[in-house]
């Protein structure tokens, strides 16, 4: 098993890509901590992980709140004594044009998609540094490379996330810690179904499990030669469209 007895923290772990990643990791031997604001959803995922024979912990948290993040790390260390892998998957999206977007929406997207990544990664790094090993995977988006006015605030947040990931990778060089990023195209999640009720148009939906497999690759020793990398997971999407 590629992740035998490794402890993984997955933000946004209650559904979609987060849930698929939790189950993929459990099948590869990992113990899984799932966190999100929805207590019911993460509890259900934790039960699924236990059903696969692995240990699990569900911690309700808003990653944009520092106190919640500190409690997440505290409870994980208390339960498992280590954090081997972090998957920064939590994110929010809105499709309002910039000219019509309320300030509150800008603040919420940036708070979760950027502040949340900063807070969780910063809190987890000391645990990994003490162990001299760790693996961090950022879940960005193909739209981070541009592509027009669809979900402009979301795209801006993910473009910034790509740069933050590179900075963390640079800062952890030589410390036994790797930081890599995956940028999915349209994936069959509840948010995307709401945004594109007729489908993505240019391609078939990717499945959350497709992205989970890429995250698994980045989290495992199969990608041991990589840090600071950004992988595009576009399935049958046209690369020229960039989301």
Q: Which of 161, 177, 164, 175 is nearest to 227 (CA)?
A: 177
Q: One of 25, 145, 154, 168 is an active-site residue; which one?
A: 154
Q: How many CB atoms lie within 10 A of CB 175?
A: 14
- Nearest-angstrom CA–CA distance, 89 and 34: 11
Catalytic residue check, 196: no
- Nearest-angstrom CA–CA distance, 134 and 172: 10
33-55: b (≥16 Cβ within 10 Å) or e:
bbbbbeeebbeebbebbeebebb
- Nearest-angstrom CA–CA distance, 180 and 27: 22
Annotated catalytic residues are 154
């Amino acid at each position: 098993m590629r992740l035998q007895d490794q402890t993984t923290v997955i933000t946004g772990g209650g559904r979609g890509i987060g849930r698929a990643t939790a189950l993929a990791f459990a099948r590869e031997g990992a113990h899984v901590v799932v966190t999100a604001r929805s207590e019911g959803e993460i509890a259900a995922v934790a039960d699924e992980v236990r059903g696969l024979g692995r240990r699990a912990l569900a911690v309700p948290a808003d990653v944009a709140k520092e106190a919640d993040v500190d409690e997440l790390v505290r409870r994980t260390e208390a339960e498992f004594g280590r954090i081997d892998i972090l998957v920064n998957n939590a994110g929010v999206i809105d499709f309002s044009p910039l000219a019509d977007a309320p300030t509150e929406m800008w603040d919420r997207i940036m708070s979760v998609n950027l502040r949340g990544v900063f807070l969780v990664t910063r809190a987890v790094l000391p645990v990994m540094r003490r162990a001299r090993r760790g693996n961090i995977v950022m879940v960005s988006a193909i739209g981070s490379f541009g592509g027009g006015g669809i979900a402009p605030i979301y795209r801006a947040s993910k473009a910034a996330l790509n740069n933050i990931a590179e900075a963390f990778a640079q800062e952890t060089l030589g410390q036994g810690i790797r930081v890599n990023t995956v940028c999915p195209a349209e994936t069959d999640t509840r948010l995307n179904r709401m945004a594109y009720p007729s489908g993505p148009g240019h391609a078939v939906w990717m499945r959350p499990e497709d992205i989970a497999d890429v995250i698994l690759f980045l989290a495992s020793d199969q990608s041991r030669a990589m840090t600071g990398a950004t992988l595009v997971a576009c399935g049958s999407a046209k690369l020229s469209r960039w989301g």
